[in-house]
Amino acid sequence: VSVDPSDEPVLRIGELSRRVGLSDHVLRAWESRYGLLQPVRTAGGFRLYSPADELRVRRMQAALARGLSAAEAARSTLAAEDAAQPGTTDLLAAASGLADVAEALAQALDAFDEPAAHAWLDRLLTDLTVETVLRDVLVPYLHDLGLRWERGEVGVAQEHFATHLLRGRLAGMARGWGLGDGPHAVLACPPEELHDVALMVFGVVLHRRGWRISFLGASTPVDDLVEVVADTKPSLVVLAATTTERFTGIARELALLAEKVPVAVAGAGATPALAETTGAQLLVGDPVTAAEQPPWRR
């Protein structure tokens, strides 16, 4: 994905817009507001963009996908480019590398290119910590995937393909997470909840902090959860769900459980009100940061 910034300006706005999947309007806004694009004008007054402009747009998209605001994303994109010039710090250059590889990974996943997707993941995991790859690439990618699916930009096939591949990598990282003599955590999703990837991310990072993980995964019947907790007396139970109803359906059982062991709730469906009524801790933020800075550690 590296592009020689000295390349000639050759792209009309329509062509750039087609390549990066953004409207002319957005591209012109990024040009006028943030100076992200530096087109030259033809004699006839048309803007012509260079491959360096295209690369900057892709980095900006990757930064937005990581959750930065548009202004922050533009600043980080331009700073990364400055840093890529010889003689500047490696840190920002590495950051721009991350955005490029994250973008390449996203393209491989969109194109159902399994070998390429694994190769990009291998490269990320060689250069960066598991935590960085999960927090800065995998979680934002999945979040963005949902938005793109909602907008009709990717189909269900792409979503399933990408999730299955990434979940497989996580399962590999999770191998052995039940071992060790650290504190024990039981992780589960409430009944009907199928989104268990973020909970896996949480478990992988928590295990790297010394915890032993029992992962019950998607749509766990509450009676079975209660039984496991009674049998194993874990130091922590974490439940994650994308909608509040999935928690409220088991609120009574959760409250009883929380009287016996520390219980935490997380995910888009976990609310302060739910935590309040059940006596559970609310885990906010992304699963990596939450596992790294456990507010429930005593």
Query: Locate tokens 């766990």: which residue?
Result: 220
Contact 222, 191 (CB under 8 A): yes
Q: How far is the CB of 195 from ligand B12 (least distance, A)?
A: 4
Of 196, 211, 220, 275, the one binding ligand B12 by CB under 6 A: 196
Tokens of 234: 């874990």
What is the C-alpha separation between 21 and 296, in angstroms, rounded? 43
Q: How far is the CB of 227 from ligand B12 (least distance, A)?
A: 22
> Of 240 and 254, which has the nearer Cβ to ligand B12?
240
Contact 51, 4 (CB under 8 A): yes
Contact 100, 59 (CB under 8 A): yes
Q: How far is the CB of 253 from ligand B12 (least distance, A)?
A: 19
Residue 160 in the binding site for ligand B12 (CB under 6 A): yes
Question: In whole angstroms, what separates CA 209 from the centre of its chain?
Answer: 20
Residue 163 in the binding site for ligand B12 (CB under 6 A): yes
Residues 254-273 as x/- pattern, contact with ligand B12 by CB under 6 A: ------------xxx-----
Residues 114-153 as x/- pattern, contact with ligand B12 by CB under 6 A: -------------------------x--xx-xxx--x---
Of 195, 229, 257, 281, the one binding ligand B12 by CB under 6 A: 195
Contact 59, 80 (CB under 8 A): yes
Residue 237 in the binding site for ligand B12 (CB under 6 A): no
CA angle 206, 208, 210 (to 5 degrees): 80
Q: How far is the CB of 242 from ligand B12 (least distance, A)?
A: 5
Query: Shortest CA distance to 58 belongs to which of 79, 90, 36?
Result: 36
What is the C-alpha separation between 17 and 159, in angstroms, rounded? 23
Residue 54 in the binding site for ligand B12 (CB under 6 A): no
Contacting positions for ligand B12 (CB under 6 A): 139, 142-143, 145-147, 150, 159-160, 163, 167, 192-199, 202, 238, 240, 242-243, 266-268, 283, 286-287, 290
